[in-house]
Amino acid sequence: MRAIFWGLGSDGTVGANKNSIKIIGEETKNYAQGYFVYDSKKSGSVTTSHLRFGPNPIHAPYLIEQASFIACHQFSFLERVNVLKSAMPGGVFLLNSPYGPEEVWQYLPCEVQQDLINKQLHFYVVDALKVAKESGMGGRINTVMQTCFFAISGVLPRDQAIAHIKESIKKSYGKRGDAVVKQNWQAIDQTLANLYEVKVSKEVTAVLTRRPTVPAQAPSFIHRVLAPMIAGDGDMLPVSALPVDGTYPSGTTQWEKRNIGLEVPAWETDLCIQCGKCAFVCPHAVIRQKVYDPAYLQDAPATFLSVPAHYKEFPGMQYSLQVSPEDCTGCGLCVEACPAKDKSMVSRKAINMVEQPPVREREKTNWEFFLTLPEVDRTQLHLTTIKNSQLMEPLFEFSGACSGCGETPYVKLVSQLFGDRTVVANATGCSSIYGGNLPTTPWSINQEGRGPAWSNSLFEDNAEFGLGMRVSLDQKMAYAQEVLPHFVAQLGEELVQALLTADQSSEAGIKAQRERVAELKEKLAWSDAPLAYDLLSVADALVRKSVWIIGGDGWAYDIGYGGLDHVLASGRNVKVLILDTEVYSNTGGQASKSTPRAAVAKFAASGKGLAKKDLGMLAMSYGYVYVARVAMGASDQQTLNAFLEAEAYDGPALIIAYSHCIAHGIEMRKGLEQQKLAVQSGLWPLYRYNPALIDQGKNPLILDSKEPSVPLETYAYNETRYRMLLQSDEGRAKQLMQEAKQDVVSHWKHYQQMVALFEPDEAAQDKENTHA
Amino acid sequence: MPDLTTSYLGLSLKNPLVASASPLSKKIDSVQRLEEAGASAIVMYSLFEEQINHESRELDHFLNRGSHSYAEAISYFPDMTYYNMGVSAYLKHLEMVKRMVSIPVIGSLNGVSPGTWVEYAKQIEDAGADALELNIYYLPTDPILSSAALEESYVELVRNVRSEIKIPLALKLSPFFTSLPAIARRFVQAGADGLVLFNRFYQPDFDLENLEVVPNLELSNSSDLRLPLRWIAILYGRIETDFALTSGVHSHQDVIKAMMAGAKVVMLASELLAHGIGRLTELRRDLENWLEENEYSSIRQMQGSMSQKSVAEPAAFERANYLRALNTFDAYHY
């Protein structure tokens, strides 16, 4: 027997299939084989399980091409994936469907109807979500679908199969408590009463067709190369279709409309105070705001929302906040961040979650119109406020990161603040997977066609990789400056001098330099002097670039630490952003040196017994490294200040950013609240150490958070990583918690002493003042 | 030396000071200290079935989430070989407490479904509890649910548990019954050996800055004593059962008042949480002194002496008391 199961990562399909293999392999005389195909997404990922069973040894090291049993565990797949392409004539198709046996036919796309008829498939439906929900299982439909598989396939007698499934659930989950076993068993018991065979019609009656993988207007490369990958047919692409140098076009996630958010935010114009906090925290850049001339509203769709803008820089302009419904993952962080509540009903905020399907088409049209509105002129805004920062176009959008990811809002912020002059060296880890994995790329381009340059090297050398980028950019600039004086005749003294002495500390200054470089290129375009070719090849380096070295704590604290230390010590102008989840998130939550004491992680299953490494303090010890510790859920303004200061500092900078993560075992929607508690409990003090302040006679170290005011337990025991130790080894949990609390106290004292230590010497200053 | 002994639910106790269900019973060492300080019995913290189920489901949810959905991370947590979850953790702790102290230990239970109330009650009995206190902490919010129906389900519950266990059974009540004497009588008829008056509901508060409803746990004070005091005084002699007074016992005077109203024991938590377990020793000494000074030979002598049936003016406990209180207030303030 050959079976293929289409599932969502979150519905437990793969886990149930592994369990089925065990049952069949152990309880029958059959041989069993399983292979599981995953996509590269961390939210809404599609899994395909290929299972073979039979009385003879199985020698089939390849995916199933002809399946006698196909199960589709998510109804929504039918409109975007060809789930029946491998169905054998006369086989079985099991569908998890919200529609019963009498009505389901009319909701099937015509391609599915056609396959069911042509291949004469036996068609079954079960409303697995209903059964799972009624049993208290939420969206985990795995045991329901597993029971259906055994019931239909007849691999084992029904009663025997059900007994084995129940037994294995007790064995696997019994230790987590009776309630868990009971709800699974209840789901199994309710399954068969909800499983129906559907009479397949003789003719196709559907009006619906499967949606194209990418919209028709997508560029040719997307259609030719990326669309087959998105559809799961990447293996069929010839090698010749792939870019020879490994360079892929950026800004391609916009073509992969995944529609995975069951709910999306809706804007309430009457309550909104235009603070920009929702856009600031959005992990997928699906909430955006624009300020524009009212004249643009002439062509607006009737349902497009717009209100007068509350920006002192933009009198008489209109403001819109718009959501991209097809790219939103439904995490709800925006709602949590929204500070505006209805005075008559406090549950209604300026942004609230609503069901996606009813608003999808309407908001899709509005989103498309919103994209046609012009972006704000970057030179006209001070970026020092949250609301202004969120008028900057994000050039990092719609990644495959987890719904509610705590890392991506920081990455997105870099792309907004430093825009198309950002150059990123990305360490391997979550950020390299959602940042640059196939099929599509979230790093994007602006209306001028420019965007950040991004590359991923290895885990162990990312800091050096970024330093190389800096050195080569500096070298190019130095060479351009060296040869520029040779072109005074062609370019004019004034242009050459301006190019050499440009003040690029502001967006306006950078824009002016860009214009000069454009003028240089134009004037030298027809020159055939070898030196002119040289200058043209490096002229872009005359525009200030911002080099960001980005990665997680596994890279920065552990595997890449030697290199990171070397790069910080070099004194070069590189910016380091550590997305600190306190574990190796990408590989499943292994402990790093950033893992805090008392938290459970893989390789620290009995709770980490030692304190988290204070990387910020190590970097600070150089004296010339800008260091900031931030948590946007605790203080978005401090986060913004840190990013701006780090970039402005002419030297190495390090930002350690608290990033909540699914490996913490929290509801991701509460991620910002946990960040706040981390700071309030003193576990994550916020500070900025800015060496530039020393020259100004100021204290370089600023403690941005207040003295710990919340017990550490209040923060920690909201998280499974701490709580599970309490549940498995209470004595050790309490002992480690006690020690962790002492860490908090001693760290806080230490920071306070550091602030005092860095206080400028008043006497020295007085003396200096007298001399002046 | 006056005799402080009393009896409650058929248990002979060396004094009327019982430690009520509180976090103090979660630690073995504090349970031992309670005994050393003079507590005559201990009510264990409550086993909340809903909380146990919630914890199990939550653990399962977070351990499963994200698993088997991405090739490089099949799971995000190590799965332990053992979790101290569910009713077994409570039972194990109860067994340990029983081993460590010689005073009676009373189990406390708050269930969800009729089946589990009974199941857990038996398990608590098997674990060695000397008695069981049912904590019927339920806040009805459904307008369709009538008080009669709710009362009937409570009575049914008491009947079911009573028929399944042999140890004494007490019922901890809230004050929110339309006719407390009537329901108290039904509970006793259904098999309750004692009534604990009253359960304190922690009322949530509003945070005006963030416009949020926030939990608010406030310890009791002596003025909270009045409500159970009045009702025990009214019920004493009318309902043949043992009364325990809980809420608002902070001084030896409070203990004496409770005894005079008709309680067999008082139950303390707030006073011990606020001022330490050592307060028990002080209360016991003060109680003894007061009895001596006022020439009482025993606690039993005063039990029920100021119940409604025993006082000269029974109306003081009824509506007349309300009118008099208002008149006194007017005379005093205006």
Distance of CA B98 to the CA centre of its chain: 19
The rounded percent of chain B whose pLDDT value lies above 70 is 95
Q: Do A402 and B66 touch (CB under 8 A)?
A: yes
Average pLDDT, chain A: 95
Interface of A with B in 339-358 (CB under 8 A): 341, 346
Q: What is the pLDDT of residues B205-228, one digit of tens each?
A: 999 988 999 887 788 888 899 999
A605 contacts in chain B (CB < 8 Å) = 78, 80
Closest partner residue to B52 (CB to CB) among A177, A602, A724 is: A177
CA-closest candidate to residue A663, choices A744, A578, A735, A579: A579
Q: Is B170 helix (H, G, I), strand (E, B) or coil?
A: strand
Residue B208 in contact with partner chain A when CB distance is under 8 A: no
CA-closest candidate to residue B183, choices B169, B197, B201: B197
pLDDT average, residue stretch A206-226: 94
Axis-axis angle for helices A142-153, A178-191 (nearest 10): 40
- First-to-last alpha carbon distance for chain B, in angstroms, is 48
Per-residue pLDDT, B81:
87
Per-residue pLDDT, A374:
97
ipTM of the complex: 0.91
Rounded to whole angstroms, the Cα distance separating A189 from A172 reads: 18
Among B54, B61, B76, pick the best mutation site for testing chain A contact (most A Cβ within 10 A).
B76
Rounded to whole angstroms, the Cα distance separating A72 from A76 reads: 9
Do residues A18 and B68 touch, judged by C-beta distance below 8 A?
yes
Interface of A with B in 622-651 (CB under 8 A): none
CA-closest candidate to residue A586, choices A564, A567, A602: A602
**Lowest model confidence (mean pLDDT) among A66-80, A320-334, A685-699, B65-79:** B65-79
Banded model confidence at residue A511, pLDDT cuts 50, 70, 90:
very high
Rounded to whole angstroms, the Cα distance separating A186 from B142 reads: 26
pLDDT average, residue stretch B306-316: 86
A137: left (phi over 0), alpha (psi -120 to 50) or beta: alpha
**Lowest model confidence (mean pLDDT) among A76-80, A746-750, B193-197:** A76-80
Rounded to whole angstroms, the Cα distance separating A542 from A500 reads: 8
Q: What is the DSSP string of A79-93?
A: GTS-TTTTEEEEEEE
Residue B207 in contact with partner chain A when CB distance is under 8 A: no
Beta strand B265-268 with B17-19: parallel, antiparallel or unpaired? parallel
- How many of the other CB atoms lie within 10 Å of CB of A426? 25
Q: Do B83 and A723 touch (CB under 8 A)?
A: no
Banded model confidence at residue A113, pLDDT cuts 50, 70, 90:
very high
Banded model confidence at residue B327, pLDDT cuts 50, 70, 90:
low
Does the pLDDT at position B323 exceed 80?
Answer: no
Q: What is the pLDDT of residues A615-664, one digit of tens each?
A: 999 999 999 999 999 999 999 999 999 999 999 999 999 999 999 999 99
pLDDT average, residue stretch B311-332: 65
pLDDT average, residue stretch A413-421: 97
Element (H, E) at A123: strand A122-126
Per-residue pLDDT, A11:
86
Per-residue pLDDT, A139:
84
Rounded to whole angstroms, the Cα distance separating A479 from A222 reads: 38
Q: What is the pLDDT of residues A295-310, one digit of tens each?
A: 999 999 999 999 999 9
Does the pLDDT at position A371 exceed 60?
Answer: yes
**Residue A165 token pair:** 């499934």
Per-residue pLDDT, A764:
53
Q: What is the pLDDT of residues B37-87, one digit of tens each?
A: 999 999 999 998 888 888 999 999 999 988 988 889 999 999 888 888 878
The rounded percent of chain A whose pLDDT value lies above 90 is 90
Does the pLDDT at position A766 exceed 80?
Answer: no
Q: What is the pLDDT of residues B266-291, one digit of tens each?
A: 999 999 999 999 999 999 999 999 99
Interface of A with B in 154-193 (CB under 8 A): 173, 175-180, 183
Q: What is the DSSP string of B83-129?
A: ---HHHHHHHHHHHHHHH--S-EEEEEE-SSHHHHHHHHHHHHHTT-
Do residues B21 and B43 touch, judged by C-beta distance below 8 A?
yes
A588 contacts in chain B (CB < 8 Å) = 72-76
CA distance A735 to chain B (A): 14
CA distance A37 to chain B (A): 8
- How many of the other CB atoms lie within 10 Å of CB of B270? 20
**Residue B227 token pair:** 């409500």
Per-residue pLDDT, B318:
76
Banded model confidence at residue A457, pLDDT cuts 50, 70, 90:
confident
Does the pLDDT at position A609 exceed 70?
Answer: yes
Interface of A with B in 7-36 (CB under 8 A): 8-10, 12-15, 18, 36
CA-closest candidate to residue A427, choices A600, A634, A633, A577: A577
Does the pLDDT at position A771 exceed 80?
Answer: no
Among A19, A727, A732, A735, pick the best mutation site for testing chain B contact (most B Cβ within 10 A).
A727
Q: What is the DSSP string of B118-159?
A: HHHHHHHHHTT-SEEEEE-------TTS-HHHHHHHHHHHHH
pLDDT average, residue stretch A263-284: 98
Axis-axis angle for helices A178-191, B49-64 (nearest 10): 70
| A287-292 sheet: strands from edge to edge | A287-292, A318-323, A307-308
What residue type is assigned to position B85 of the chain?
A: M
pLDDT average, residue stretch A106-129: 97
Dihedral sign of CA atoms B62, B67, B70, B71 in order: positive
Distance of CA A714 to the CA centre of its chain: 27
Q: What is the pLDDT of residues B105-159, one digit of tens each?
A: 999 998 767 778 888 999 999 999 999 999 887 788 999 999 999 999 999 999 9
**Lowest model confidence (mean pLDDT) among A471-480, B6-15, B305-314:** B305-314
Higher pLDDT, A457 or A750: A750
Which residue is associated with the tokens 């062609």?
Answer: A490
Among B54, B65, B112, pick the best mutation site for testing chain A contact (most A Cβ within 10 A).
B65
Per-residue pLDDT, B305:
95
Residue B70 in contact with partner chain A when CB distance is under 8 A: yes
